[in-house]
Amino acid sequence: MKKVSISFTLNGDTVSAEVPPTWTLLKTLREAFELTGAKEGCGVGECGACTVIVDGQTVNACIYPVPEIDGRHVTTIEGLADKEGNLDPLQTAFLENNGVQCGFCTSGMIMSARSLLDDNSSPNEDEIRTAISGNICRCTGYVQIVESIDIAAKKA
Amino acid sequence: MIDYEYLKPASLDEVFDLMKKHGSKAELVAGGTDVMVFIKQGNHSPEVLISLRGLTDLCYIQKNSAYHIGALATHRMLEQSQLVKEELTALQQGSSQVGSIQVRNMGTLGGNICNAAPSADTAAPLLVLDAVAVLQSPEGQRRVPIEEFFIGPSETVKKNDEVLVEIEIPSEMGRFKTAYCKHARRQAMTLPIIGVSVGILLEKDVIADARIALTVAAPTPIRVRQAEDFLKGKPFEEGVLKEAGEIASSPECCMPRDSLRCEGWYREEMVRILIPRVAMAAVEE
Ligand SMILES: Cc1cc2nc3c(=O)[nH]c(=O)nc-3n(C[C@H](O)[C@H](O)[C@H](O)COP(=O)(O)OP(=O)(O)OC[C@H]3O[C@@H](n4cnc5c(N)ncnc54)[C@H](O)[C@@H]3O)c2cc1C
Ligand code: FES
Ligand code: FES
């Protein structure tokens, strides 16, 4: 298969790669860039485990055709901590408030929450629940996740 | 095995050239939220994907002598547009209930219509709003009322050499009060069991004009003219609205089928109950 060249900004750095045109953004992040934070749950847009932020908007990386990423800005869970390794307030809140159990949904959940807080720094519970309605968690029952996001919003 | 070439034309002319060159081997892709899933699930296997995402000039929401929405406008744009929320309320409500935020950031209005799922959440609102699909081919443009656009599940009148470029809504529809109800098992990430949209034009307390549209009630989204005609000239009251619900749910107007998601009789019952509720919601907005 003829490969395509892509060049984009990944967590602040300009990167490029040669990948098959049939690859999704998720496969590219995990296999070409070895960023395994974004997970493949369903592979068809239903579960949100693969959520990343492209040009300021969350997308399901598992159904995002990678040739479209050329020239764009991508943020993944690996890009949230600062250069010194200080975690994003959302990451800290999830760790301290049992927002994480098995962890499979967590990176996608935090990316959806990050996008929410970028637009709305003091969301109410309804807004938080709507923001994560495309992210399925099979462990927590969502209560600790909603609390973690609320706490992160209030601390920031 | 999944194997395709991915082409990124920058203009409509280039799109037409590529469509001509690759013919039935090619498929158009906008947001990809339907197409990519079909490919991954093995239901589609195009040899070429022609991306429309480079047509950034088809990504707009405008109002002048009519409302104009570019085919590439995303559901998220429609959800967040104050203009659409205030003047084309049912459409805002339809788009804002498609999938999740992630899906709405990618998925487009044009894709929702061209994919023509019987459950498409923008279909009933567009019927209520008298929308017109603007189709373009190398030969020129043609305009198809949305009611004639759908001909069956996943089937539309769009020809293979045509691209949907715009959805146009007449400016007078902005005077109607409209609403959409997606009746489903969950609040999000689910398809409607039945979709009901109603538009009411009130003059004093009299219904001067009305629109009622249903999805998942027939193989295509439908208008229910008998119930609309019944409403015209009547006072806007609960009893009248209930009667419209009875008419719309009668076998002459809708024949919903049994499916995995629910049985036909329940859909029929919900049409009867939801029409008055959605009409009330529209006017109370
Ligand atoms: C997890 C998930 C949940 C979903 N939930 C819902 C839901 O709740 N309600 C709902 O209605 N839909 C839902 N969908 C379906 C989908 O998101 C919508 O139908 C969306 O609007 C499709 O738009 P798109 O731009 O992604 O289309 P694409 O997948 O890019 O295209 C769809 C079809 O339309 C054609 N096409 C697209 N644009 C044009 C154009 N301008 N001219 C000609 N042909 C064109 C393509 O060739 C293709 O056949 C869901 C999808 C997913 C993955
Ligand atoms: S893996 Fe992408 S949504 Fe489930
Ligand atoms: S923590 Fe296990 S799926 Fe959410």
- Kindly report, residue by residue over A60-109, the tens digit of the pLDDT: 999 999 999 999 999 999 999 999 999 999 999 999 999 999 999 999 99
Q: What angle do CA B75, B77, B82 make, to 5 degrees?
A: 120
Q: Which fold has domain A89-155?
A: DNA polymerase; domain 1 (1.10.150)
- DSSP SS3 for A57: strand
Among B226, B195, B193, B198, smallest CA distance to B210 is for B198
Q: Whose CA is nearest to atom 40 of ligand 1?
A: B164
| For chain B, domain boundaries | 5-51, 56-172, 176-284
Average pLDDT of the segment spanning B198-221:
95
Cβ(A129)–Cβ(A112) below 8 Å = no
A99 within 8 A of A148, measured Cβ to Cβ: yes
- Which H/E stretch holds residue A73? strand A73-75
- Chain B residues touching A115 at Cβ < 8 A: 101
H-helix segments, B187-263 = 225-231, 238-248
Question: What is the tens place of the pLDDT at every residue in B62-78?
Answer: 999 999 999 999 999 99
| Cβ–Cβ under 8 Å, residues B163 and B71 | yes
Our CA-based measurement puts residue A63 at a distance from the nearest CA of chain B, in whole angstroms, of: 6
Which pLDDT score is estimated for A29? 98
Are A22 and B103 an interchain contact pair (Cβ–Cβ within 8 Å)? no
Two tokens, residue B219: 């193989």
pTM greater than 0.95:
yes
What is the CA(B227)–ligand 1 centre distance, in A?
30
Q: Beta-strand (E) ranges in B111-267? A: 132-137, 140-145, 150-152, 155-156, 163-170, 177-183, 194-203, 206-215, 222-223
Where in chain A is CATH 3.10.20.30?
4-79
> Is 3.30.43.10 the CATH number for B5-51?
yes
Q: Give the CATH H-level superfamily of domain B176-284.
A: CO dehydrogenase flavoprotein, C-terminal domain (3.30.390.50)
Q: What confidence category does residue B262 fall into, taking pLDDT thresholds of 50, 70 and 90?
A: confident
- Taking a C-beta distance cutoff of 8 angstroms, is the pair B269, B249 a contact? yes
Distance CA B214, CA B226 (A): 13
Backbone angles phi, psi at A19, to 5 degrees: -135, 160
Q: Is A57 on the interface with B (CB under 8 A)?
A: yes
If one residue of B29, B113, B141, B197 were mutated to test the ligand 1 pocket, choosing by the most ligand atoms within 8 A of its CB, it would be: B29
Q: What distance in Å separates residue A138's CA from the closest CA in chain B? A: 15
| Side chain identity at residue B244, one-letter code | A
Superfamily of domain A4-79 in CATH is: Beta-grasp domain (3.10.20.30)
Per-residue confidence band for B254, with pLDDT thresholds at 50, 70 and 90: confident
The set of residues, in sequence order, having a beta carbon less than 8 Å from that of B277 and lying 6+ positions away, is: B181
Residue B146 has pLDDT above 80, yes or no: yes
- Angle among Cα A128, B121, B86 to the nearest 5 degrees reads 70
Residue-averaged pLDDT of chain A: 97
Beta carbon of A153 within 6 Å of any ligand 2 atom? no
**Chain B, window 207-266: residues with a beta carbon less than 8 angstroms from a chain A beta carbon:** none
**CB contact at 8 A, A39 and A135:** no
**How deeply is B140 buried, as exposed, middle or buried, from its count of CB atoms within 10 A (0-12, 13-18, 19+)?**
exposed
Distance of CA B57 to the CA centre of its chain: 21
- Assigned CATH topology for domain B56-172: 3.30.465
Given pLDDT bands bounded at 50, 70 and 90, which one contains residue A1? confident
Size of interface A-B (CB pairs under 8 A): 78
Residue A128 has pLDDT above 90, yes or no: yes
Write b or e for each residue in B44-80: b if 16 or more Cβ atoms lie within 10 A of its Cβ, otherwise e: bebebbbbbbbbeebbebeeeeebbbbbbbbbbbbbb
B184 alpha carbon – ligand 3 mean position (Å): 25
| Contacts of residue B152, Cβ cutoff 8 Å, sequence gap at least 6 | B116, B219, B220
